[in-house]
Every structure is written in C-alpha cells, then in structure tokens.
Amino acid sequence: MAALPEVVFVLGGPGSGKGTQCSKIIKEFEFVHLSAGDLLRDEQANKESEVGQLIEYHIVNGTIVPVEITCELLHKAMKASGKHKFLIDGFPRNEDNLSGWTKNMADKTVVKLVLCMDCSDDICIERCMGRGAAGSGRSDDNLTSLKKRLVTFRSATLPIVEHYDKLGLLRRINAERPAEQVVFALLCYFGVMIV
C-alpha cells in the first residue's frame, strides 16, 4: 500500500513569517507550499457569492472561516498537486479547524511536524503594516484588523499549538531574527525530522 501523504503545519501570528519561510523551505526540500489564507483569498476573489462574502468578512475581522470551506480548498489543492509532501501554512487555527481536519483528513495524511513561528505582537504589527504600506492590497493589513488577528491568534490558535506540543510534534522557532537566520534554524529541523 502506498505511504500516506506527509504534512507539516506552519503556525504563528500574523506577519511572523510563515509564508516567507515556507517559500524558502520549498527551495531546499521537496514540499508543496499551501497557504490556507492564500487559498481563501483566491476563492474569495473568484466568487461574488455568499461564500466569497463570508470569507471576506472573516478576513477583515481576523476571525476564522468555517473548516468545511478551508479543508475542502486544502484537500483540492493537495490532490491537484499530485505530490505527497505538504507545508500547510496558517492552518489549523482553532478547535473547529482541528476537528474538521481530523474528521476528514486524519486517515488520508500523516502530520509529521508542526512549526510555530514565535514573534512578538509589536514585530508582527510592524511587518504587516510595512507590507500594507508597500501595497500588499490585503484588506487585513491595517491596524484595526491586525489587533483582531492577534487576539484570535492568542485565544484560538495557541491552544492548537499546545495540543501539538503535547503530542510531541511541535518545534518552536524564534522568528524575530532576520529571515536568513530563521530559515537556517528551520532547515536544520527539516534535515533531522523529515529526511
């Protein structure tokens, strides 16, 4: 029987560098980078529908889209890639995400590792505001949304981080350093844990 697809979850606050680091990791290791946030933004942009409006509402308010939507987008993207190793960036972010993933994907995948990018609120805000000022076009790169995103991260996502810590799957990264130093630490984890 073929081995199940492998998954590494990458969690961390807004602007902690999840996307930046995933882009670097895939240059060195054969993983497909799937950003749950990017998949939701693409879905929202392509749909004038109620689903599109629901996604936009959650993004602007820093709250979390129901797992049925996100999990289906992730599953579709995994199947479409034809690959077997996935870096899933920004998911699972709350209890609903975790139980939805467990229900639909636990028997189809193996979670190999969970990375948490540790970064202070001040640095997260500075980075996202900088990205907004540079023209990201993201509807949540503003101070009002950012404060809400940080509250959600603390109240909803940190318990998920703790859950994976208890399972022995979590590795924490000091993500406040320059990106090249962060990726060096991450690649060491990948070298030891994945290969």
- Which residues of this protein are in contact with ligand UP5, per CB under 6 A? 12, 14-20, 35-37, 40, 58-59, 62-65, 70, 90-91, 93, 97, 127-128, 130-131, 140, 149, 178-179, 182
Q: Which residue is nearest to Mg ion (CB)?
A: 19
Say whether 79 counts as a known binding-site residue: no
100 binds, among ligand UP5, Mg ion, none (CB under 5 to 8 A by kind): none
**Would you say the C-alpha torsion 150, 156, 162, 165 has a positive or negative sign?**
negative
52 binds, among Mg ion, ligand UP5, none (CB under 5 to 8 A by kind): none
Closest approach of Cβ 194 to ligand UP5, in Å? 21
Closest approach of Cβ 141 to ligand UP5, in Å? 7
Tally the C-alpha atoms within 13 A of residue 4's C-alpha that lie toward its C-beta.
10
Say whether 104 counts as a known binding-site residue: no
CA 58 to chain centroid, in Å, comes to 15
Angle, vertex CA 108, rays to CA 106 and CA 41, nearest 5 = 80
Identify the three-state secondary structure at position 115.
strand
Say whether 65 counts as a known binding-site residue: yes
Angle, vertex CA 84, rays to CA 72 and CA 35, nearest 5 = 45
Write the DSSP string, 34-61.
Answer: EEHHHHHHHHHHT--SHHHHHHHHHHHH
Say whether 13 counts as a known binding-site residue: no
Closest approach of Cβ 119 to ligand UP5, in Å? 8
Closest approach of Cβ 17 to ligand UP5, in Å? 3
Q: Could you tell me the CA-to-CA distances from 33 to 7, 74, 143, 155 in Å, in that order?
A: 10, 11, 27, 26
Token couple for 98 = 């975790």
The site for Mg ion (CB under 5 A) is made up of 18-19
Say whether 97 counts as a known binding-site residue: yes
Q: Which residue is nearest to ligand UP5 (CB)?
A: 37
Q: Which residues are annotated as a binding site for CMP?
A: 97
Residue ranges for the binding site for a ribonucleoside 5'-phosphate?
A: 41, 63-65, 90-93, 138, 149
